[in-house]
Each structure stands twice: as C-alpha cells, then as structure tokens.
Structure 1
Amino acid sequence: MPEEGSESRSFRIIPLICALLAIALGLLTLIGWISGVPLLASVRASYIPMAPSTAFCFTLIGVGLIAHLLKAALRWIPRVVASVVLAVVCAKLVEIFGDLNFGIDPWFVRNPGLFGAVPTGRMAPMTAINFLFIGTGLLALTGRQPAKFAGPLGALAAVIGAVVLVGYWYGTPLLYGGHTIPVALSTACGFFLSGIGIVMAAGATGWPLRAFLGESTRAMLLRAFVPLITAAALINGWINARLPARIHVNPAVTSALCAVVFAALIALIISQISRVVGGRIDRAEAARNLAQAELLALNAHLEIKVQERTRELRLKNQQMKEELQMARELQIALLPQKFPTVPADVPVQESALRFLSLYFPTGDVSGDFFNVFPIGEKAAGIFICDVMGHGVRSALITSMIRGLVEEHVQAAADPGELLTRINRALAVILKQADTTMFATCFYVVADVERAQLRFANAGHPSALHIQHGNGAAHKLQGNGRPGPAIGIFPTASYVTSSSPMKKGDRVMLFTDGLFEVEDASGTLFTEEQLHTTVTRYAGLPAQEFFDRVISDVRQFSERKSFDDDVCVVGMEVQHTG
C-alpha cells in the first residue's frame, strides 16, 4: 500500500513540476522580449531565441496542465487553453504553408531581427507541428479515456524535443544555416518538459508508462536497458561529433575509443540482463520451491485429515452396521417364533391347524412382515404384508403395521373390517409425517368350526388354496377385485370374502419377491409359473413341499439369494369341526 501511494503521488508531482518549468520558460522568454534582453529567450547569443508566440503557448499549456492536476472542477480550463493553443498553431501552419498572413507574430514582435537568413521572433514550423501534439494531448487528458491518446501524443512531443536537444548537445543544431526557422534550445526544453508532464498525467495505464511499470519481466528489462541503450547511442554520437574537433585526435583513435566504450556498454548491458533475468529466474525458482514445499506440507496435512476422516467414517460405518444388525435381529425376533394351536390348550400334534414360515430378507432390515395369532378357540388369523421399498423406512412402517394389527385385534374375525381400520390409522400417521409410503396386505382367517376361510386383500398377491385330493392351486380372490394398498386412501374399505376348507387343504401366503425373479436372459418367473410349481409338489409333506417350491424358484434364477425380500407362510388343515 505505501508503494502504491508513492507511485500515485509521483503521477501528480512530476507533471506539476514539468508544468511549472514550462511556465517559467515561457515567462522568462516573454520578459526577455519585453525588456530587450534576448539572452533570456535564447540561452546563448549563438542560439536562436524562442519566439514570443511560442512562449505564450508554453505558458498556456503549463497553466492548463496545472488546472487539470489540482482540481476536477477546473477541468474546463485545460479544454479552453488547449483550444486556444490549437487555434493559434493551426493559424500559424496556414500562414507557413498557405501563403496567408493572419498577423500572429507581429502581435508580439513588429520588427524582427535576423538570425542568419531567417527572422527572429517567429514560430518555427516544427514548433507549430509539435504544439499540435501537445495541445491535442492536453485536450485528451480531459476526455473519458485520457490514457489512450494523451500518453502517446505527449511521448511523441517529448521525443521531438529530445531530438532537438541532442542536436544542440552535439554542437550541430537542427536546421541552422538554412532558410527554415530552426527550433530554439529553450523551445526544445519546453516540449520535452510538456511532453513528459502529459505522459505522467495520463497515468500508469497509458502508453508508454504501462510498458515500463509493473513487475513483469518485460517491464524490468525495459527499465534496465532503455536508459543504457539511450546512453550508449548518445555517447557514441558525442564522441564522433565533438571529440575530434575538441582534441584534434586521429580518426582511428576515435574509432578505437568508440569500440572500447561500446564494449564497456555491451558488457554493462549483458551484466544488467544477467542481473534482471537471472534475478527473476532465481526469484521464480525460490517461489516455486517454496510453493512446492507448501504443497508437500499441505498434502501431508490433507493425508492426515483423510486418514482421520476415513477412520471416523469406518467407525461410524461399523456402528451403523452394528445398529442395523441389531435392528435385523429385533425384527426377526418380532416375527412369530412359535405358532398357536387350535384349540389353544392342545399339543401341536393335535392342533386342527399347523403353520410354517420361510423368511429371506435381502438387506439388513426388511419391509416384509407376517403374523399368526389365535381368534377365539376355533380359528386363527394369518396376516402378511409387503411395505414399499427396502431398508430402515420400510422396517419402521412394518413395525407400525404390527402395532396397528395388535391395536385393532378385536376386529380380527372380520378380515375386511381389520384392513379398513388399519388403513385408516396408517394413512393418518403418514399424512402427519408428510411422507408417502404404502403396503400391500393379505389377511385370512381359518375358521375350523365353520370349515371356512375368510379373507381380504389390500393390493397383495392372492394367497393360494391347495385343495386336498386333486392338488390344484386356486387363488383366494373371492367375487370382487382386491382393494388398494393400505396407507394411500384413508376412506378405502375392504370386502371380506369366504371359501370352504376341508381336511388336508393347504393355504400358502407369500410376498411378490417369491415370483418376481429373473433368469440370466431377463425372463421373469411369473405368478402362473408359481401356481404350476405349487400344483406339481402338492402331494409332498408340508415342509418338503415348501422347500421344493423355494428350490425351483432359485434354480430358475440361477442365484442363491433373492433380489427382493421374500416371506412365505403356510397352513395345513389337520381337521375341521
């Protein structure tokens, strides 16, 4: 920040000094002409003096530049000043090249003397042309993009002034001895100062300053070598132009001296190149090494962080696995571990109904659920459901349904009424939780006393009734269509249907994971194929019957596991009445 402030002050102080010096040159010249002391306008008696009109223009340019630098409210002054200067020099150029006479110079000097073959007190053509650049540059400073035009115009005027100054330094002033009015030494100084002032006032974004400023290698090389090369050219010219005449040496000695000076300058330039470029390379290498070291340190830090996060994730993952395993064990523990007997007080071998189940969850927790419970002394209810999806959400819904079944057990004798109540309660809970879930259910009541199966279906695959004797498997679907899945429509009601049963009959309830399997070619094992398989093994004992059905399904899919949760509940009628 301090460097930026110092640089900003330089862009105000330097042009301000240049403007003051230009005003001083102009005023000294005017005083010299008014007081009759022409030396104030010419520096030396052997040099042509600055014309009063030129001094007047320099004074105006200096005033306009100062007004531009000091206060934004005074920006109209440089516009007016630049316009006056441009009007004067344009009229002067018309006089010079158009054989017209506006009487500009006689305003200041009526009876000029002669300097050789040219009159004094008259503006030189080169001076008028250079004032075009200076005036336009000052006018550009007040525009919207001052740096775009002001900098190049100021630089051009400064270079022209510098060329004239070099001519004076070499002792061979330009255009002296001819019929064209030459540029005075003080005029060249005024152009150099005014040009530098406009270049600096244009700021760092304008050319040529933007090429020299900044930390780029190009800018550093320009700052280092342009002064050296300029000095080399000036010294070489001075040696060739002035040295032989001053000390009367042999031209061969002059050439040798030039060669030595140039060799020294070239060595100095090479040394500067090595210092600037080498220093930049060394700094870049140091910065690269530092960045590489920081990157290695950062990588090491990140590696430690990654290891820590990996360890934390591994621990959390292990914790989740353990919790899911516990949930799986709890879910399995909630399934019936022991089936009821009908009537309740008889041994299993004497029960009118015998049950068995197969359960194959695909994940840690399952969305399939079943329950078998007694209804009075002469009946039992079998409830099976399949909740949408898999995982923890589905498992939570199964737990809710289990609780609702137990809550509404007083309606268990009527399957349609039980499903209606469970659906209504579940839909309310899901709406309050603002979630969309559903479950398909099938509920059947085996009434031994009436030798009857009563059932209701909520969008679930129909249970199969395998009749004793012919071994045919029939769907328990009643007279109507299955009702919708529970949890979607709160007002849905479910119809109870019935079917007779007799000794030796079997009922098989299952979820869709049993038949929605594919073989290697993508062909589905349909529900019809399941009926065919069930019919094929209907004559086998109950446990073997179910094992063979499961085996055929797995053999079809050529897999040892199922893609979806599978739950199968079987019931065999030992006797009725």
Structure 2
Amino acid sequence: MIYRRLSFFCALLTGALGALTLIGWVSGKVILASVSQAYIPMAPSTALAFTLLSLVLLMREHSKFRRPVAEVVLVAVGIVAAGKLVEFLSGASLGVDEWLVADPVKFGTVRTGRMSPITALNFLLVSSAIFALLKPRLRFWAGPLAAAVAAICGVVVLGYLHGTPLLYGGAIIPVALPTATAFILMSASVVAAVGAECWPLRSWMGDSTRAMLLRWFLPAVVLVALAEGLLRTRFLVDLGLNPALASALSTLLHTLIVTAVISQVARLLGRRIDQAESERNEAQDALQALNRHLEQRIIERTQELSAKNQQMQEELTMARELQLALLPDRFPSIPRSAPATESALRFFSLYQPAGVVSGDFFSVFPVSETGVGIFICDVMGHGVRAALVTSMLRALLEQHSEEEPDPGILLTKMNHGLHSILKQAGTTMYATGVMLIADAARSEVLYSVAGHPSPLHLRRHEGRTAPLDGRGTCGALGLFADTIFTTARATIAPGDLIMLFTDGLFEVETPEGALYSHEDLQQAVHERLNLPTNTLFQEILSEVQSFSQRQDFDDDVCIIGIEVARSLEDPNSKKGSMSSHAGQGTALDLA
C-alpha cells in the first residue's frame, strides 16, 4: 500500500510541474518553467509529455483505466522523443516545437522552448519503463529503465546544485532544472509502482544483512558526496576560507556522517548477532537436554513397540490356532462303520501357509453312508482379511451342506451368502474354490469349480493323468450374487487319485522370471503316478521349491488327495444314480 501511495504522489507532482510549465508559457510568465531567470525554462513539448505520462501513471489503478489508450499515449510520446533525437543528429527540424512556440527567445546560444536531446532520450527510456510496467511479462524491466533515467537526471541536478549547470554556454540545448526534477519524480513513481518484487527495491527490502547495509550505506555515501561537494563549492568558497581549512571542515563533516552511519549499523548488526547468539545458545541447551533424555526415550519407545509387537504376535498366533482348528483334525471313514484302515476312500492333505494366517481352506465331511464331500478354496490375498473370509466360507459351508448334496447348488448358495456379507462390509474380495462329492459305491464324483485350478485325476490303472473336465467351471465366489454354478460328473476306479490344490503350488517363478505352470505340475505328477500318495505330495513340493530356488512360497499352499482304495456295493442302486438328486444343478457325465 505504501508503494502505491508513493507512486501516486510522485506522479501527481510530475503532472503538477508539467501543468505549471504550460501555464507559465501560456500566461507569459516563463519563470514558472525555469525556477530562476538564470536557468533555461522547460520546453512546452516537454511539459505536455510529462502531463500525459503522469496521467497514465495516475489512472493506472483506476477502474476506468483503458490500457490501449495508455499504450497509444506512450507510443506517441516515444515517437516525439525519437523525432527530437533525429532532429539533433540530422540537423533537420520536424516542426513539433515550432508548432507550440513559433518565435522563441534565445538563452545564450540556444533557443528556448525546444526539447533537449538528453530530455528526448530520457522520454524514450521512461516511456519504455511505463510500457513495461503495464505488461506483466515485461514488468521486470520497468525498474532498471526508470533507475537509468533517475541516474542521468541526478547528474543534471548535481550540476545545478554545484552552480555549474550541464551544457550551459554550449551549442546543445541543456536540460532544465524542472525537467530533471520531473524525471526523477517520474522514475520514483515507476520504481514504487513496480514495488519490492523487482530491482532496485528488491535489493533494499527484507531483513537480510545485505539489504540492511544497502539501506544505510548507500544513502550515506550519496549524502556525504553531496554534502562535501556543496560545502566546497557553495559555502566555503563564498566565505573566503583558506583552502586547507575548507578541506579540513569538509573532511570533518564526512567523518561525522560516516561515523554516525557506522555506529547505527554496528548497533543494528550487534543486536541481530546477539539475538542470533542467544537463540543458538537456547537451541544448544535444548539439544543437550534432548540428548540427555533421548536414550531414555528410545528405551521407553523400544519397550512400548516390543510390547505392541508381542501383543500383535500373540493375537496372530491365536488367529492361526483358531484357523487351524477350523481344518479337519481327522478324516471320515467310508463306510462310516469301517475302521480307518479299511475305508474305501482315503484322504491326504498338505497345508503350508505363506504367513501366520492363511487364505487357503479345506474341509472333508460325510454326505452319506458311501459318499463324502470335499471343499477347497483360496481367498484373494493373504493375512488376516483373507483368513476372515475363509471363516465366512466355512460357516456358509456348514449351513448349506446338510441341506443340499449337489455341488453346483451348494456353491451357488455359498456365493450368494458371501456376496451379501462382503457387500454389507463395503469391501471387494473373492475366493476361488472346488466343491466335490465322491461316492465309493457309485464309483463317481460330482464336482463344481468356482474359478479354481482344475483338480487332477490320476487313473493309475490306466497310467493316465488329466485334469477334471472344465464343463463344471464358473466364476469366483463373492463377486456376483446371481452366478449359477453347474455340476459335472466323472467316474472313479480303485487306485484312482483325485488331487485338489491351490494356485500357490504352481504359480511360482525362478529368479530369472520363468513360470511354473499348471501343465508343468500335471507333467510332474504324471511322472510320479505310481508313488504312494504322501510321497507323491512331498516330491511335488520339493520339485516346485527346487524350480523356484526358494524354500518358502510367496503364496499359501494347500493340497488335498482322495484315493479310491476299493469299491463298495451301492445300497441304493435300485433307486437311481446320485445325479438324479442334483436339484437345480446340472450333472454332466464326464466318464
């Protein structure tokens, strides 16, 4: 705000000098344009240019200001100034000054009422400065151009102050004292309008030591030079003092001013240094106090983190124990009354979580005297969230498995329930899975696949290994509520093995990025077709670890095996096959 007011005030004084000069020429009182009879007056063209430029500066902040009009005024003043320079260099007259003052009187050897070439040069510079002021991209140049004009006219004013005006008595029209004063005021107006964002005020402003030294020493140096020069040329000479005495007095004045400035600067700098030293000492004391308590704080923080980590580990261990408790602790016998060693279907499992808790889950449960259900799933992700979803799936399995023996319908109901739970929780998760029902009496399996890797069917009596047909495959569990899962059928014979597994068993990579695929797994299983099932599982796991060159898996690994030990007589053979009770699921015969 202060810069805006200063700019307005300097522009107003400039316009007043121009208007006063025009009044003097119109009224015949030319002294109004020259201050003294001994000085050349300001030319009318110069006064008119000052008036127009001051109006541009005064109206710049007004709401009715029109930039195109201001630019026309600036260009017009610049053209007139350039024309005067052409007149000076070529000796020809363009008639601008003659139109205003046709028959001027002479001041020494030059005519009055004519613009000085130095004045014309200054008008070119100051017009350019104001033009740059109006353009945001050129605003940076306004300050340096205005400072150049102030420096030129400062030399002119010094000549007047010392009693030897510049160019007086020569053939070149000198610059009038009011003209030089008006240029200094207009330059100050432009510099103030630019503000502290640009040079030269940018170097003066702020709390830095550099800015403070400039604010004190630069004015002091200028003041000392002016005072010493004026003292020598205007006062001591007029008093008729001895030159040696005059020199001593001027030196004394110079010394007093410099001493006063240095004393003030030293006081300010000393206060800043003392304040900085005090702040440094306070910071050092605080740092020492912090260091004294830092070790204790670290110990306390470490103990706190250790307690939290221990608590978290205990909770994760409990979660792992609870999850393991959800897995079957023993497998059913088929038929139910048979001892485990004489069961028609034998079961094998391998469970290796990648973390403390797992997203893999399986369950084996009887569905009839000769049939058993096997469910395996793999929840997206790892950790606690995945483990919670496996708990939901187990609850849904227990809820619906007693109602519906058909794998497709069972998965459809579980999917609908899981989708409803996840939707209420506002989270997006899913699980892949396989629901399979094996019946030793009917020598068949019914199964449905929910986006899960296809189980492998090892027909040992035929020497053949192949995945179960994919016609019973559909999307993952939990994504869409209206997904309908279908049921497929395959025959089994004594010695056959159905191998169910999660993708953590085969989706592994070598350090070079090679992938162990489902086909690689099938080939490895086929090569070990006749091995005992437990040995087969362990060797497959070792091969995958050897391929990845790692002992640990990035994903959870779960393998379930159903081996047909012997066939049973179907107690319900007269009532039709198992597929006749499939309900809404579609039984596909894949024998």
* TM bucket, shorter chain: 0.5 to 0.7
Does structure 2 retain, via aligned residues, the 8 Å contact 1:212–1:222? yes
Task: Choose which of 326, 334, 357 in structure 2 pairs with 1:331.
Answer: 326
Aligned to 2:525: 527
Task: Choose which of 387, 400, 405 in structure 1 pairs with 2:401.
Answer: 405
Question: Which letter maps to 2:320?
Answer: Q
Measure, in 2, the Cα distance between the counterparts of 1:107 and 1:509: 115
Measure, in 2, the Cα distance between the counterparts of 1:560 and 1:77: 82
* Aligned CA distance change for structure 1 residues 487 and 570 (closer, same or farther; 3 Å): same
1:369 aligns with 2:362: yes
* Aligned CA distance change for structure 1 residues 327 and 214 (closer, same or farther; 3 Å): same
Three-state SS of the structure 1 residue aligned to 2:457 is coil
Per-residue CA distance 1:351-398 (angstroms, 9 max, x = gap): 77586765645353563434353735xx3x233333235742345445
* Aligned CA distance change for structure 1 residues 298 and 422 (closer, same or farther; 3 Å): farther
Indicate the percent of aligned positions where both proteins have the same amino acid: 20
Deviation at 1:78, TM superposition (A): 8.9
Aligned to 1:83: 76
Does structure 2 retain, via aligned residues, the 8 Å contact 1:336–1:371? no
Measure, in 1, the Cα distance between the counterparts of 2:505 and 2:85: 104
Measure, in 2, the Cα distance between the counterparts of 1:85 and 1:163: 23
Does structure 1 retain, via aligned residues, the 8 Å contact 2:505–2:558? no
Three-state SS of the structure 1 residue aligned to 2:493 is strand
Deviation at 1:185, TM superposition (A): 3.6
Aligned to 1:541: none
Does structure 1 retain, via aligned residues, the 8 Å contact 2:360–2:378? yes
Aligned to 1:226: 218
Per-residue CA distance 1:324-350 (angstroms, 9 max, x = gap): 236415413xx3647457474x8x499
Measure, in 1, the Cα distance between the counterparts of 2:429 and 2:503: 28
Does structure 1 retain, via aligned residues, the 8 Å contact 2:525–2:540? no
Deviation at 1:230, TM superposition (A): 1.0
Does structure 2 retain, via aligned residues, the 8 Å contact 1:92–1:104? no
Deviation at 1:313, TM superposition (A): 7.3
Normalised TM-score (structure 2): 0.65
1:528-567 alignment runs, 5 A limit: 528-534=526-532, 564-567=557-560
1:461 aligns with 2:438: no
Where structure 2 has 5 or more consecutive residues not aligned to the other structure, the ranges are 423-427, 449-453, 477-482, 571-591
1:125 aligns with 2:123: no
Does structure 1 retain, via aligned residues, the 8 Å contact 2:497–2:562? yes
* Aligned CA distance change for structure 1 residues 263 and 342 (closer, same or farther; 3 Å): same
Measure, in 2, the Cα distance between the counterparts of 1:104 and 1:554: 106
Per-residue CA distance 1:402-458 (angstroms, 9 max, x = gap): 54432224xxxxxxxx345445545666777786543235533233xxxx7443465
Per-residue CA distance 1:230-254 (angstroms, 9 max, x = gap): 1122223234434552344444444
Question: Which letter maps to 1:407?
Answer: E
Does structure 2 retain, via aligned residues, the 8 Å contact 1:22–1:194? no
1:130-209 alignment runs, 5 A limit: 132-133=123-124, 136=127, 140=131, 144=135, 147=139, 151-201=143-193, 207-209=199-201
Which stretch shows the higher mean deviation, 278-287 or 356-365? 278-287
Aligned to 2:50: 61
Per-residue CA distance 1:460-511 (angstroms, 9 max, x = gap): 233677xxxxxxx7679899957545666846442252536xxxxx776654
Three-state SS of the structure 1 residue aligned to 2:440 is strand
1:440 aligns with 2:434: yes
Measure, in 1, the Cα distance between the counterparts of 2:219 and 2:504: 93
* Aligned CA distance change for structure 1 residues 125 and 60 (closer, same or farther; 3 Å): closer
Measure, in 1, the Cα distance between the counterparts of 2:435 and 2:94: 115
1:385 aligns with 2:381: no
Task: Choose which of 4, 7, 11 in structure 1 pairs with 2:7.
Answer: 11
Question: Which letter maps to 2:218?
Answer: V
1:428-507 alignment runs, 5 A limit: 437-447=431-441, 453-456=443-446, 459-462=454-457, 481=469, 484-485=472-473, 490=484, 492-497=486-491, 499=493
Aligned length: 521
Question: Which letter maps to 1:439?
Answer: G
Per-residue CA distance 1:295-346 (angstroms, 9 max, x = gap): 999999xx99x999969975984585266236415413xx3647457474x8
Three-state SS of the structure 2 residue aligned to 1:173 is coil
Does structure 2 retain, via aligned residues, the 8 Å contact 1:420–1:493? yes
Does structure 1 retain, via aligned residues, the 8 Å contact 2:445–2:492? yes
1:308-327 alignment runs, 5 A limit: 314=309, 317=312, 321=316, 324-325=319-320, 327=322
Task: Choose which of 18, 24, 48 in structure 1 pairs with 2:20.
Answer: 24
Three-state SS of the structure 2 residue aligned to 1:174 is coil
* Aligned CA distance change for structure 1 residues 405 and 226 (closer, same or farther; 3 Å): same
* Aligned CA distance change for structure 1 residues 349 and 550 (closer, same or farther; 3 Å): closer
Does structure 2 retain, via aligned residues, the 8 Å contact 1:509–1:568? yes
Deviation at 1:50, TM superposition (A): 1.2
Which stretch shows the higher mean deviation, 548-557 or 170-179? 548-557
Measure, in 1, the Cα distance between the counterparts of 2:467 and 2:8: 102
Measure, in 1, the Cα distance between the counterparts of 2:132 and 2:551: 87
* Aligned CA distance change for structure 1 residues 256 and 373 (closer, same or farther; 3 Å): same
Deviation at 1:195, TM superposition (A): 4.1
Aligned to 2:589: none
Question: Which letter maps to 1:371?
Answer: V
Aligned to 1:94: 87
Three-state SS of the structure 1 residue aligned to 2:2 is helix
Does structure 1 retain, via aligned residues, the 8 Å contact 2:456–2:465? no
Measure, in 2, the Cα distance between the counterparts of 1:307 and 1:367: 35
State the superposition RMSD in angstroms: 5.6
Three-state SS of the structure 2 residue aligned to 1:565 is strand
Measure, in 2, the Cα distance between the counterparts of 1:422 and 1:281: 83
Aligned to 2:584: none
